[in-house]
Structure formats: C-alpha cells, structure tokens
C-alpha cells in the first residue's frame, strides 16, 4: 500500500483524501458502526490514498479524531488526523502527540480551529494557547525526538479583500518555515485562486505539495455556505442560483452536484496539485462516481474551467490573468491604494523606536531603570502605571508577554478572538472576524504596515509562542530584562 507521504512525494495529482466527520457519541454506538463500515469500504478502494478525520469541525463537539483514526488504522487504512488548537492547551497537545506517535498516527493536519459553537451546559471556552504555527513547530520538534510526523497545514486563497488575502500567503510561508510538509486549501468554487496558489508556490524555491479541497454541494450546503455559515467559505449568488436550479430535478440535483465535484477533481489534477481532498459525501458510492467521472474528464480539464469557476465580484487577485481567464499568469497585480493609518498607531511607532527598539538608547536606559526597580522590589507601582496606559489604549489582558509590536500595536488577546500571534486564521470575511463584532487584527496590521513598506515582511520572523509563566507580570519589565518571546527568538537566531 502506498503511504500518504510517499504519494505526496510523487506530486502527480493522484493523492486522494476523503474526509470523515466524527459523530457525537462513542465508537461502539450505531453511528459509530456506520462510520466504521464507511471507512472500511473507502480504505479498500486503491484510488483513495488516505482518510482524514476532523477535530470538532465547525466548533461542534464530536468524537476525538484519534479514536476513529486508530480504528481505521486497525482496518489497514491510511489516516490523516486533524489537530486543532481550539480546545487544548500546549501541554494537552503535547500529550496528544505522544499518543499519536505511540499509535503510529503520524499523518497530521495542524489547524488553529473554528471558534467553539457548543459545549456541556453552555458554550465551551476557547483555548488557543498556541496557534497552528506553534503546533507545526511542536510537531516538528516531536518528530526530531521520535517518529517523524508528516505535517499538513491549511491555506485559504479565496479571500476577496487584499488585506485578508495577502496575509494568508505570508502565514503559509511562515508555516513552511516552521516545518509544514504540505498544504490543503479551504473549500472554494473558483479555479483562479487555485491557479494563483500554484503560481505563488512555484516562486518559493522547491515549494511544497499542495492539495485542493472539493466539497460536494447540495442545495442545503450551498445555502449554508452562501450565508457565511462556515467560517472562511464563500459561495456566490450565481452559484447558489445554479445549485437551486439543479435541486429542482427529480434527484434533487445529486447527479449534477457529483458531476460538478468530479470536474473540480479533474481540474485539480490537471492544474498541477498533488491531489484532491474530497468532503461532503453521503456514502461510498458518491466517492466512486466522482473518481470515475474525474478520470474521464481529466484529459480535457481546461475546457471545464468555466463550469467550475464562480468568482466573487470584485475579488482581489495576486496575479494577472493568464491565457485563460480562469488561470493566473506569472505577472503580479498592482496593489490597491494604501490607507491612511490612525494617528495613535503613528505615535506608537515613534514611542517604540525611541524606547522599545533594542538598539535604541531609550531601551538601554529603561533596562537600567527596571533592573533597579526589581532590585528594590518596586515593580508593583511600575506595573500599575503600565496597565493604566495599555488597558485603555489596547484592551491589554496583562499576559506579560506582549505582542503589540508584532501586530501593528493591537493586543492579540483583547482584539483577536483566537489569540493569533503568527498571522490570521482562515475565518475572516472582508476584514471582519468570524466572531461577530470584531475586526481581523491581521487585516488591520496589513493596512497599517503598507504605507511603511513593511506589510510583506510582517511575518518574516520566528514564530511567537507566548510564555504563560509571565501572565500577570509587567510586560515592559519582561521586554527590557530579556524574559519574553523576543529574547527567546533572538537566542534562537543567534544559535
């Protein structure tokens, strides 16, 4: 049997993943038996490289992925286990990795995770102790000490706004530097972003294997995607109208929807992806039909591009169109006009350069002052003063390991629902967070840094993993005295 990693290495379009979504219940119940039978049949299909098992997808509580993954592995199937940071601290994630390594479940997809939707007697509290970049770093480190993990990550190339789109690519580059072996796209229904991702990947040295997500539509699924019911997935008015038209048929559009998915798979193969990640199937027969039709369509994949491309009106593009409008050329598009940055941000930059930049005279002076304050046990009034400034200005949460300079002077705990310190998650929409009432801090950061020529390099640094031992202490003191993540990352660069 070809392993997932071996199939990826071929990068020939034939790596096929099929997603399984666990249920709310134990492995032995009726739903569990149905899922295991489905997994057994899919695993026996030589066209399918591996089954993937989601981790509380959408923020809904389900059976843990490692449990179903272990059952699939016992059947002789290849498994990719999703790992989300939403519900686990880094210690819990480390314990999970030890368990996965012990069970031989070393194919992983590292995700930040959707915001929680439910929980026992109320909504669960989001954890997000680390993000997907931190998890990738942890997986790489664990692989150096034990069995090596094949580390997958996610990328959403379907963003319509420039401030959402470009940071997705910057974060993907950071994920690759952190140790990601491959990437899977978010669900989308437009070939041009797929083509742009492949073009971008070709500029990144050898690049990494890329897979494209294909989610089988129904009328109901189309409606959910259209109303932004799943963070990060967009479905246009035009595609919704098509789906509703197909659903009026006697079979409720099932044949048309399966053919649409098969065309997507054929295009994915033809464009140069490592393969397709298929989700949304109701039974094994649907997967069989999709793969059989994809084989028939593949030789004429370019002719299928108009059939599967439903571009969002006004969507920003990274590259100019190629010979076919659904494909990208190698010529970048012109960036949009920069926005005027807030006065508060401009003042913060000046203060940082004068007092917080390590090479500044002010930093040396402050280090001496804080050293004397600590020796005299007078940090309490200094900490109170710090909070009197930072709470009203930044909604500071007193984490003690401040990332304000990393995110254009926005607090990742006060302003970001997921505490994303290494670039955006995939859930934003036109600059707005998936959690209502919040704007994406990374879209803001991109807009603020562009006038200074720093937007494209804002993630050209070591990943930030905050030290929770510093919580409740003075972040200023920790910066000046070399105890926060800046000192740790500088040591890593020097070693």
Strand partners, 111: 84
What is the C-alpha separation between 79 and 49, in angstroms, rounded?
A: 9
Helix, strand, coil percent values for the chain (each to nearest 5): 50, 10, 40
What is the pLDDT, as a whole number, of residue 339? 83
Q: Taking the chain, what is the end-to-end CA distance rounded to the nearest angstrom?
A: 41
Mean pLDDT of the chain: 95
∠ CA(161), CA(165), CA(168), 5° rounding? 155
What is the C-alpha separation between 460 and 348, in angstroms, rounded?
A: 21
What is the pLDDT, as a whole number, of residue 495? 40
State the average pLDDT over residues 289-304: 98
Burial grade of 177 (CB within 10 A; 0-12, 13-18, 19 or more): middle
* Band (4; pLDDT cuts 50, 70, 90): very high
Per DSSP, the three-state class of 321 is: strand
What is the pLDDT, as a whole number, of residue 491? 62
Which structure tokens are listed for 395? Answer: 């909604």
State the average pLDDT over residues 450-459: 97
Per DSSP, the three-state class of 320 is: strand
- Predicted confidence (pLDDT) at residue 150 exceeds the cutoff of 50: yes
Between the alpha carbon of residue 91 and those of residues 88, 96, 97, the distances in Å are 8, 9, 10
What is the C-alpha separation between 346 and 349, in angstroms, rounded?
A: 5
Contacts of 142 (CB under 8 A, 6+ apart): 94, 97, 98, 101, 149
Alpha helices in 236-360 (DSSP H): 237-247, 254-271, 284-297, 305-308, 343-351
* Band (487; pLDDT cuts 50, 70, 90): confident
% of the chain beyond a pLDDT of 90: 94
Which structure tokens are listed for 30? Answer: 């009726």
What is the C-alpha separation between 71 and 80, in angstroms, rounded?
A: 13
What is the pLDDT, as a whole number, of residue 367? 97
What is the pLDDT, as a whole number, of residue 310? 98
Token pair 């994920």: residue: 175
- Predicted confidence (pLDDT) at residue 1 exceeds the cutoff of 80: no
What is the C-alpha separation between 317 and 335, in angstroms, rounded?
A: 9
**pLDDT tens digit string along 388-415?**
999 999 999 999 999 999 999 999 999 9
Residue 314 CB: number of other CB atoms within 10 A?
Answer: 7
Question: With b meaning 16 or more CB within 10 Å and e meaning fewer, what string describes 320-329?
Answer: eeeeeebbbe
Which structure tokens are listed for 259? Answer: 């053919």
- Predicted confidence (pLDDT) at residue 494 exceeds the cutoff of 50: no
Which structure tokens are listed for 321? Answer: 């169109």
Query: Are 404 and 421 contacting, i.e. CB atoms less than 8 angstroms apart?
Result: no
State the average pLDDT over residues 178-187: 98
Query: Are 277 and 52 contacting, i.e. CB atoms less than 8 angstroms apart?
Result: yes
Alpha helices in 328-420 (DSSP H): 343-351, 361-375, 379-394
Query: Are 442 and 407 contacting, i.e. CB atoms less than 8 angstroms apart?
Result: yes
Instruction: Give, for 141, the enclosing helix (H) or strand (E).
Output: helix 132-145
Between the alpha carbon of residue 123 and those of residues 87, 153, 224, 294, the distances in Å are 12, 26, 21, 41
Residue 462 carries which DSSP code?
A: P
What is the residue extent of each domain of the chain?
4-332, 343-494
Query: Are 186 and 213 contacting, i.e. CB atoms less than 8 angstroms apart?
Result: yes
Gyration radius from the chain CA atoms: 24
What is the C-alpha separation between 133 and 172, in angstroms, rounded?
A: 9
- Looking at the structure, give the CATH architecture of the domain made up of residues 4-332: Alpha-Beta Barrel (3.20)
State the average pLDDT over residues 420-449: 95
Which structure tokens are listed for 54? Answer: 């989601």
* Band (337; pLDDT cuts 50, 70, 90): confident
**pLDDT tens digit string along 90-145?**
999 999 999 999 999 999 999 999 999 988 999 999 999 999 999 999 999 999 98
What is the C-alpha separation between 404 and 391, in angstroms, rounded?
A: 12
């Amino acid at each position: 049997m070809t392993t997932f990693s071996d199939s990826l290495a071929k990068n020939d379009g034939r790596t096929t993943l099929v997603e399984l979504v666990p249920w709310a219940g134990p492995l032995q119940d009726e739903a569990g038996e149905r899922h295991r039978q489905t997994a057994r049949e899919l695993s026996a299909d030589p066209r399918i490289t591996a089954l993937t098992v989601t981790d509380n997808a959408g923020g809904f509580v389900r059976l843990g992925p490692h449990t179903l993954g272990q059952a699939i592995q016992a059947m002789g199937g290849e498994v990719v286990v999703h790992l989300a940071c939403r519900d686990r601290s880094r210690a819990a994630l480390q314990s999970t990795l030890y368990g996965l390594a012990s069970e031989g479940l070393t194919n992983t997809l590292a995700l930040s995770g959707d915001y929680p939707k439910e929980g026992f007697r109320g909504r669960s509290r989001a954890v997000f102790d680390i993000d997907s970049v931190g998890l990738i770093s942890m997986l790489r480190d664990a692989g150096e000490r034990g069995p090596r993990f094949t580390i997958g990550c996610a990328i959403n190339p379907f963003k319509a706004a420039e401030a959402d789109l470009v940071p997705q690519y910057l974060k993907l580059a950071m994920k690759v530097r952190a140790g990601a072996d491959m990437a899977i796209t978010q669900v989308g229904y437009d070939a041009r972003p797929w083509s742009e991702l492949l073009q971008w990947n070709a500029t990144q040295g050898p690049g990494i294997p890329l897979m494209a997500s294909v989610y089988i539509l129904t009328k109901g699924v189309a409606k959910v995607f259209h109303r932004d019911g799943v963070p990060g997935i967009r479905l246009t008015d035009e595609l919704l109208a098509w789906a509703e038209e197909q659903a009026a048929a006697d079979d409720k559009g099932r044949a048309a929807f399966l053919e649409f998915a098969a065309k997507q798979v054929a295009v994915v193969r033809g464009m140069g992806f490592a393969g397709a990640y298929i989700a949304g199937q109701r039974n094994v027969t649907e997967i069989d039909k999709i793969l059989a039709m994809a084989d028939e369509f593949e030789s004429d994949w370019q002719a299928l591009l108009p059939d599967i491309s439903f571009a969002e009106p006004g969507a920003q593009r990274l590259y100019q169109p190629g010979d076919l409008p659904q494909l990208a050329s190698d010529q970048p598009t012109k960036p949009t006009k920069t926005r005027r940055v807030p006065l508060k941000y401009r003042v913060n930059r000046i203060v940082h350069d004068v007092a917080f930049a390590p090479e500044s005279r002010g930093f040396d002076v402050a280090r001496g002052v804080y050293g004397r304050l600590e020796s005299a046990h007078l940090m309490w009034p200094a900490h109170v003063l710090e909070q009197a400034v930072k709470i009203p200005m930044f909604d500071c949460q007193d984490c003690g390991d401040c990332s304000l300079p990393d995110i254009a002077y926005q607090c990742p705990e006060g302003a970001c629902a997921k505490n994303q310190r290494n670039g955006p998650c995939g859930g934003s929409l036109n600059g707005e967070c998936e959690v209502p009432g919040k704007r994406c801090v990374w879209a803001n950061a991109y807009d603020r840094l562009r006038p200074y020529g720093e937007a494209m390099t804002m993630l050209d640094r070591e990943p930030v993993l905050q030290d929770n031992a510093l919580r409740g202490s003075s972040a200023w003191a920790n910066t000046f005295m070399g105890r926060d993540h800046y000192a740790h990352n500088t040591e890593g660069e020097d070693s």
